[in-house]
Amino acid sequence: MSSLKDDVKAYVESVLGLPIELKPARLKLPFHILDLYKPVQMQIDVGKDWISTLLLLPVSDEYPGAVALQKHITQVRKATDEVIVYVTKSLTPHERRSLISHQINFLQPGYQMFIPALAMDLREKVRQRRDEEEVQALLPAAQAMLLGCLYEGWSSEQLFTSNAIMGDFRYSRVTLSKVVDQLLTLKLLKVVKARGFKNLYAFDGNTFEIFRRARRYMSSPIRRKVAIDTKLQLGEGVFLAGETALAKYTMLAEPTKPVYGMNRRCFAELIENGSLRITDSVDDTSAWVEVWSYNSLAKNKNIADQASLLLSLEDNPDERIQISLDELKEQIAWLSSED
């Protein structure tokens, strides 16, 4: 004849479709509670993580009633933060309704499992797994903010608010929330504690580890490249990019026609005021413009930052450029952590 623990394991696994483990819970509980219940920890395997609840298996088959049971659970709650679930072999329909009306979690193998908090936890874990599978690339804002933090560096004890992660960028609250969600989903960032209504975060590793793990989700910041008929003044959002920037950082020879970078807003403004004219003529081409998804992160805003420059040129088949990119990586320690 199967035990109540065996019945619980078989029932929960059949309902959830997930493996579980049951093991004795070592809690400091009052003796009169231990005389009435056997505490058991139930761990549900949701892939990379576990959801844990505390089961109270009754020593006898006598149902104590919802009021008495609620008092017992209150005492147990002083010893644990886990969701507490009353387990029983048999309940009448009236007793089940009474437990539900008193918001008491219960599990009756083969009949019913009423654990609202567990359902919410499971939905959240499934959502996180789905989101992680769906993250194919970092949002441009997420890539820019993460690279900005990597350039600044951090200590193992350092905590960040979401605004600190955003730094000097001027993104909306909605965009910032999406960025933080992506970094949490990819486990690059973790919630450490709440301060008032704000969470405090920490990066889950040093700069080498974070860049190495984030690297596969990063992409070129270039959204468009066009030829223009005149050279531009640096500053006010215009910076050196492409081979021109790489030549400034390395021994690569500068191209005869400079390459500039700028974000989409700056590009539109220069087009509108006539400072920049696109050309399709090879003879009229004096320079090139790369429209980037974010501004240069370099302290000297007149040149592309090294990491973004690497991302913009890494697929270039020119052997000279690839050799220069290797030289570029040596200038920032964490840039070489992908090798």
- Does the predicted model carry a pTM greater than 0.75? no
113 φ, ψ to 5°? -135, 110
- On whether the CB atoms of residues 185 and 131 are closer than 8 A, the answer is yes
Q: Among 15-29, 142-156, 222-236, 310-324, which stretch is predicted with the lowest mean pLDDT?
A: 15-29
- On whether the CB atoms of residues 281 and 233 are closer than 8 A, the answer is no
What DSSP character marks residue 238? B
| Average pLDDT, integer, range 163-189 | 91
In what order do the strands lie in the sheet containing 259-263? 222-228, 287-292, 259-263, 239-240
Domain residue extents for the chain: 4-123, 135-217, 222-338
Q: Do domains 4-123 and 135-217 have the same CATH topology?
A: no
Distance CA 68, CA 98 (A): 12
When pLDDT is cut at 50, 70 and 90, the band that residue 132 belongs to is low
Q: What percent of the chain has pLDDT over 90?
A: 72
Distance CA 222, CA 310 (A): 11
Nearest Cα to 218, choosing from 154, 305, 124? 305
Q: Which pair of structure tokens corresponds to residue 325?
A: 């990119």
| Average pLDDT, integer, range 78-94 | 91
CATH class of 135-217: mainly alpha
Q: What mean pLDDT is reported for the chain?
A: 90
Q: What percent of the chain has pLDDT over 70?
A: 92
When pLDDT is cut at 50, 70 and 90, the band that residue 17 belongs to is confident
Asked whether residue 197 carries a pLDDT value surpassing 70, the answer given is: no
CATH class of 4-123: alpha beta
Asked whether residue 297 carries a pLDDT value surpassing 90, the answer given is: yes
Q: How many CB atoms lie within 10 A of CB 330?
A: 10
Question: What is the DSSP pairing of strand 83-87 with strand 106-108?
Answer: parallel
